[in-house]
Amino acid sequence: MRSRVEARLAPYREGARRIYRRGAANLAASRAFARARRRDRRFAILPYDGWGVANGVALALTALLLTAFLADPWLYAWHATLPGWLTAFFSEITWLGEANWILVLSGGFFLAAMAGDAAMLGGRLRARRAVRAAAAGYVFLSVALAGLAAVILKYALGRARPRLFETVGPYAFDPFALKPVWSGFPSGHATTAMALGVALALLFPKGRWLWLCAGFWLAASRLATRQHYPTDALAGCLLGALVAWLLARAFARLRLVFGFDETGGLIRRKGASGRL
């Protein structure tokens, strides 16, 4: 009986082994290609000196503090003015700010591209498939790294969520409490939504405002559902956008998917090395 079952499973095992060997070979070839590829060292990943970074941090902190003083205390009053259909709509779409489905889709696309038989494709098609795999990897890393940073920050800072507004107010912190109710800043959903929005805006620049607006409204859904204060959502948007942008510049240094223009601005590459 056992030998009969093993005989039936043998073709599937052999198929799985072939896919694994093909994927490992494709991944090794891709890594060798990336290592051998001439880097674009004209511009740094972070294109600002110390003063530029200080100015950016000052602007971000000023925006966060103004939002904290002018908007956070009025979250519940603002929420009471929203029509029921709008809060219901935001409640239905807020799950799109979760990272799980994005990581599954982008990671699955990357693995599927790696498991394909590259030998059956011509040079141009092989290059295009490699670019698509790199683009999927870029989306995966943007969301994963931004989400990881958000989780570390939110549990380290320990800001109270709006559900504790009546007892502790909008400015309470309990660092390293490691409890969901004390994990408000920054919003993980807003971080994920804006990381995805910026990544797609850079990959598909013709629809940049569509992706950025989608990321904004997904972040806003965390306010309409009273899961976060405005500063939580704003911080998440800034964090997600920063990670996706810096990662795109790192890819541009490798001349994968992205590149630099003559002034150091980020652009999508043209031709076989950037065409999706």
3-class secondary-structure state, position 159: strand
- Decide if 198 contacts 240 (C-beta within 8 A): yes
3-class secondary-structure state, position 11: helix
pLDDT at position 41: 84
pLDDT at position 233: 98
pLDDT at position 38: 72
Beta bridge partners of 267: 259
Show the tokens assigned to 202: 């850079």
3-state per-residue secondary structure call for 208-228: HHHHHHHHHHHHHHHHHCCCC
pLDDT at position 276: 59
Crossing angle of the two packed helices 208-224 and 230-253, in degrees rounded to 10: 150
pLDDT at position 34: 58
DSSP 8-class letter at 160: P
CA-CA distance, 137 to 128, in Å (whole number)?
A: 14
Per-residue pLDDT of the chain (276 residues; tens, 9 = 90+): 556 656 665 665 665 566 556 656 556 655 555 555 677 888 899 999 999 999 999 999 999 999 999 999 999 999 999 999 999 999 999 999 999 999 999 999 998 887 765 555 555 666 677 788 899 999 999 999 999 999 999 999 999 999 999 999 999 999 999 999 999 999 999 999 999 999 999 999 999 999 999 999 999 999 999 999 999 999 999 999 999 999 999 999 999 999 999 998 999 987 555 555
Rg (alpha carbons) of the chain, rounded to whole number:
22
pLDDT at position 12: 56
Question: How many other C-beta atoms can be found within 10 angstroms of the C-beta atom of residue 216?
Answer: 16
pLDDT at position 78: 92
Model confidence over 131-150: pLDDT tens digits? Answer: 888 999 999 999 999 999 99
pTM of the model: 0.85
Cis-peptide into 73, omega within 30 deg: no
pLDDT at position 31: 58
pLDDT at position 112: 86
Show the tokens assigned to 9: 């499973």
Amino acid identity at 33? F
Model confidence over 74-86: pLDDT tens digits? Answer: 999 999 999 999 9
